[in-house]
C-alpha cells in the first residue's frame, strides 16, 4: 500500500489529511476523537489574546446552499475565533500533543497587529509542544472589523511584517493562512514568503451572503432581523481554491514554497487534485462538519488505492504533478480538434443536450422524431456544454480528430503540428514564424 505519511515543513503526519482551524478543532474533546478517527493532523481553532475571550452571536451563525437531495454544497459562517479562554486551549493542546505525538498539531493564531501581542503569545504556544503555528490572516467577518484576519491578509505589507515578528520570536514552523478576498493571490503569498514564512495555507473563507429571507427581507443567517456577510466554504469553493493554490505553485518567484491546500476538500479525489496542483497536504473543515470525522477513512483508503493504481509510492511523488500542465490560454493547442459523440446505448433521450446546444450554443445536435439525438459534426465547436449537462456519465464524450482528417465544420484539414494563438494569423500581435 502507498505510503501516505507526509512531511510538511518538517511536521510529520501519518497522512496528508488535516482538520482546518474551525469548530472541529475547537477543543480537546473534538481533537481526540478526530485523531481516533484517523485524521493526520489538526490546526487548532484560532486562538486570540489573553484576557476575556471573544463572544459569538447567540442566533444562527451558519447559512448554506444545497444541491439535489439537499446535499450541502456551500456553507457560510459568521463565527469568530475561539470563544474559550486562552489558558484552557493551551492546556488542552499540551495534553493532546502529549498523547498523540505522531499527529500534527498546529496552532492557529490571531492577535492584534502589534509586535508586543505576538511576542507575548508565541512562547505560550511553544510551551505546549505544538508542531507549528498558522497565522490566521483570512477570517473575513467580525475579526476583520477589528483590524485582524482578512484586514491584515489584504495588505501584503502587514503580512510580511507580522510574519517577520513570528519568525523572530519563535523557532516553530510558521504557516501563513491567506484570504481569497483579494484580486491576485500571488501578492499576499509573496509577502508571506518575503517575511520568512515556511509555508502558506489557503483558502480561508470567501465573503458571502447565502440567501435572503424573503419574508422579512433580511440576509441569512438572520439575527434579530439583520444579517452580516459571512465566509463561504465547502464544495462550492473548491474551484476557486484550486486555482489560487495552482497560481502560487506555478509562480517562478515562489517555487518550492510549501502549500497547505484548503477549500472544499470533501473526498480523497479532491485531496489528490489539490496535491497534484502543488499542495503538500490538505485541510478540511466543511466536509467534516457535514458528515463527521469518519470521512477521513474514505479519504485514506481512496488516496492509497489511487496512488497504488498510479504506481506512486509516496505523497511527495503526487505533489505538484499537474503543475507543469497548467498553462496560459494563449499557449493552448488550436490544432487540437474534438467533436462531441453520443453513445446511443447509454442515452436516455432526455434531450438536455439538445436544449442546451440548440438554445444557447451552436445548434449542433439533431433530434429525430423518435428522440434519437446525434451530433452534427459540421456545427460542433467542441465546447463541451452537452457533456456537462448530460445526466448520464460518459454518455457524451469528446472524440479527438486525427491529423489528415477534414473538420466538417471548417472544411480544413486537421494539422498534426501544435499551433497556438501567439502565432495565429488572426492575432494582430502574432509573432511571425522565422522565414
Partner 1 sequence: MDPKMLSEGIVAGRRSAGQLAEAFDDLHPPLTEHEALVAADRCYFCHDAPCTVACPTDIDIPLFIRQIATGTPEAAARTILSQNILGGMCARVCPTETLCEEVCVRETAEGKPVLIGQLQRFATDTLMAADVHPFSRAASTGKRIAVVGAGPAGLACAHRLAMKGHDVVLYDARSKAGGLNEYGIAAYKSVDGFAQAEVDWLLKIGGITLENGKALGRELALEALRSEFDAVFLGVGLGGVNSLGVTGDEKDGVRDAVDFIADLRQATDLTALPVGRDVVVIGGGMTAVDAAVQAKLLGALNVTIVYRRGKDRMGASAFEQDLAASRGVRIITNAQPVAVHGNGSVREVEFAFTDDALTPTGQTFRLPADQLFRAIGQTLNGDGLPELDGRKIAITGAGRTSVAGVWAGGDCAAGGDDLTVTAVAEGRDAAEDIHAQLMK
Ligand X SMILES: Cc1cc2nc3c(=O)[nH]c(=O)nc-3n(C[C@H](O)[C@H](O)[C@H](O)COP(=O)(O)O)c2cc1C
Applying CB under 6 A, the residues found at the interface with ligand X are 20-23, 45-46, 75, 77, 79, 81, 108, 136, 138-139, 177, 204-205, 233-234, 237, 262-265, 284-287
- 96, 199, 353, 401: which one binds ligand SF4 (CB under 6 A): 353
- Residue number, 76 or 170, with CB nearest to ligand X: 76
Segment contacting partner 1 (CB under 8 A): 20-28, 205-213, 262-270, 349-357? 349-357
- Position 392 contacts partner 1 (CB under 8 A): yes
Residue pair 241/235 in contact (Cβ under 8 Å)? The answer is no
Quick one: CA dihedral 39, 41, 46, 49, positive or negative?
positive
**How is residue 247 written as a grid cell?**
497560481
Instruction: Answer whether the bond into residue 320 is a cis peptide, omega within 30°.
Output: no
For 380, which DSSP code? -
d(CA 24, CA 288): 7
Residue 21 binds which entry of ligand SF4, partner 1, ligand X, none, with Cβ cut-offs from 5 to 8 Å by kind? ligand X
**How is residue 382 written as a grid cell?**
467542441
d(CA 89, CA 83): 10
Which residues make beta-bridge pairs with 282? 17, 261
Segment contacting ligand SF4 (CB under 6 A): 39-47, 129-137, 309-317, 377-385? 377-385
- Position 361 contacts ligand SF4 (CB under 6 A): yes
Residue linked to cell 444557447? 360
**How is residue 334 written as a grid cell?**
488550436
Residue pair 349/372 in contact (Cβ under 8 Å)? The answer is yes
Catalytic residue among 113, 139, 174, 350: 139
- 90, 189, 386, 401: which one binds ligand SF4 (CB under 6 A): 386
- Minimum Å gap between C-beta 327 and ligand SF4 is 21
Residue 367 binds which entry of ligand SF4, ligand X, partner 1, none, with Cβ cut-offs from 5 to 8 Å by kind? partner 1
**How is residue 126 written as a grid cell?**
511553544
- Position 401 contacts ligand SF4 (CB under 6 A): no
Segment contacting partner 1 (CB under 8 A): 65-73, 151-159, 231-239, 329-337? 65-73
- Residue number, 65 or 124, with CB nearest to partner 1: 65
- 55, 68, 431, 433: which one binds partner 1 (CB under 8 A): 68
d(CA 81, CA 62): 15
3-state secondary structure of 184: coil
- Contacts of partner 1 in 321-340 (CB under 8 A): none
Contact characters 80-99, ligand SF4, x per CB under 6 A = --------------------
Residue 362 binds which entry of partner 1, ligand X, ligand SF4, none, with Cβ cut-offs from 5 to 8 Å by kind? ligand SF4
* Chain CA centroid to CA 42, Å: 17
Contact characters 130-169, ligand SF4, x per CB under 6 A = ----------------------------------------
Tell me if residue 139 is catalytic.
Answer: yes
Kind plus residue range of the DSSP H or E element containing 200: strand 199-202
Q: What angle do CA 207, 213, 214 make, to 5 degrees?
A: 130
CA distances from 53 to 111, 135, 159, 375 (A): 12, 18, 24, 63
**Contact set with ligand SF4 (CB under 6 A):** 340, 342, 347-353, 356-357, 361-362, 364-365, 373, 375, 380-386, 390, 392, 395-396
Q: Which residues are the active-site residues?
A: 139
Amino acid at each position: 500500500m502507498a505510503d501516505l505519511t507526509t512531511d510538511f515543513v518538517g511536521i510529520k503526519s501519518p497522512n496528508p489529511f488535516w482538520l482546518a482551524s474551525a469548530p472541529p478543532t475547537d477543543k480537546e474533546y473534538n481533537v481526540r476523537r478526530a485523531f481516533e478517527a484517523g485524521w493526520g493532523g489538526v490546526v487548532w481553532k484560532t486562538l486570540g489574546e489573553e484576557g476575556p475571550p471573544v463572544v459569538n452571536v447567540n442566533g444562527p451563525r451558519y447559512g448554506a446552499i444545497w444541491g439535489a437531495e439537499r446535499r450541502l454544497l456551500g456553507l457560510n459562517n459568521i463565527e469568530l475565533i475561539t470563544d474559550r479562554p486562552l489558558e484552557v486551549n493551551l492546556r488542552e493542546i499540551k495534553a493532546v500533543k502529549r498523547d498523540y505525538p505522531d499527529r500534527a498539531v498546529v496552532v492557529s493564531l490571531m492577535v492584534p497587529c502589534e509586535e508586543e501581542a505576538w511576542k507575548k503569545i508565541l512562547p505560550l504556544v511553544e510551551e505546549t509542544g505544538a508542531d507549528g503555528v498558522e497565522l490566521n490572516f483570512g477570517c473575513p467577518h467580525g475579526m476583520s472589523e477589528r483590524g485582524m484576519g482578512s484586514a491584515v491578509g489584504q495588505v501584503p505589507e502587514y503580512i510580511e511584517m507580522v510574519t517577520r515578528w513570528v519568525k523572530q520570536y519563535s523557532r516553530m514552523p510558521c504557516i501563513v493562512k491567506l484570504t481569497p478576498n483579494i484580486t491576485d493571490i500571488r501578492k499576499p503569498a509573496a509577502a508571506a514568503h518575503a517575511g520568512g514564512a515556511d509555508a502558506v495555507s489557503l483558502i480561508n473563507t470567501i465573503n458571502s451572503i447565502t440567501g435572503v429571507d424573503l419574508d422579512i427581507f433580511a440576509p441569512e443567517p438572520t439575527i434579530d432581523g439583520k444579517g452580516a456577510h459571512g465566509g463561504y466554504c465547502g464544495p462550492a469553493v473548491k474551484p476557486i481554491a484550486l486555482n489560487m493554490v495552482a497560481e502560487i505553485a506555478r509562480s517562478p518567484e515562489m517555487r518550492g514554497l510549501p502549500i497547505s491546500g484548503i477549500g472544499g476538500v470533501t473526498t480523497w479525489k479532491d485531496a489528490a487534485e489539490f496535491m497534484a496542483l502543488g499542495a503538500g497536504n490538505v485541510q478540511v473543515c466543511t466536509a467534516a462538519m457535514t458528515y463527521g470525522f469518519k470521512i477521513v477513512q474514505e479519504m485514506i483508503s481512496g488516496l492509497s488505492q489511487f496512488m497504488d493504481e498510479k504506481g506512486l509510492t509516496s505523497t511527495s511523488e503526487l505533489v505538484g504533478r499537474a503543475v507543469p500542465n497548467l498553462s496560459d490560454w494563449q499557449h493552448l493547442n488550436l490544432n487540437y480538434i474534438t467533436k462531441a459523440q453520443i453513445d446511443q446505448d447509454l442515452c436516455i433521450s432526455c434531450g438536455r443536450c439538445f436544449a442546451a446546444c440548440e438554445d444557447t450554443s451552436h445548434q449542433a445536435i439533431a433530434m429525430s422524431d423518435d428522440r434519437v439525438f446525434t451530433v452534427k459534426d459540421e456545427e460542433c465547436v467542441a465546447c463541451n456544454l452537452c457533456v456537462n449537462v448530460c445526466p448520464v456519465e460518459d454518455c457524451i464524450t469528446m472524440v479527438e480528430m486525427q491529423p489528415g482528417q477534414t473538420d466538417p465544420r471548417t472544411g480544413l484539414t486537421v494539422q498534426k503540428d501544435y499551433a497556438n494563438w501567439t502565432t495565429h494569423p488572426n492575432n494582430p500581435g502574432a509573432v511571425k514564424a522565422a522565414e
